[in-house]
Amino acid sequence: MRCTGWLALTIVILLAPARAAWAQEAIYVVRHAERADQSADSALSTAGIGRSYTLRDLLRNAGVTKIFTSPLRRTIDTAAPLAAAVHVTPRVMPTADALAEAIAASGPRDRVLVVGHSNTVPELLRALHVEETVAVAEDEYDNLFIVIPQKEGRPVLLRLKF
Q: What is the pLDDT of residues 51-66, one digit of tens each?
A: 999 999 999 999 999 9
- 80: pLDDT strictly greater than 60: yes
Domains within the chain, CATH numbers bracketed? 2-161 (3.40.50.1240)
Dihedral sign (CA 4, 8, 10, 14): positive
pLDDT at 13: 34
Cα end-to-end span (Å), the chain: 57
Transcribe 12-69 into DSSP letters.
Answer: HHHHHHHHHTT--SEEEEEE---BSSSSTT--B-HHHHHHHHHHHHHHTTTT--EEEE
Strand order in the sheet with 66-69: 91-92, 66-69, 111-116, 26-31, 143-148, 156-161
pLDDT at 2: 38
- Contact predicate 100/127, CB 8 Å: yes
Question: Predicted confidence band at 9 (pLDDT cuts at 50, 70, 90)?
Answer: very low
Q: What is the pLDDT of residues 14-41, one digit of tens each?
A: 334 444 444 589 999 999 999 999 999 9
pLDDT at 29: 98
**H-type alpha helices, 21-72:** 46-59
Q: What is the pLDDT of residues 104-146, one digit of tens each?
A: 899 988 999 999 999 999 999 999 999 999 999 999 999 999 9
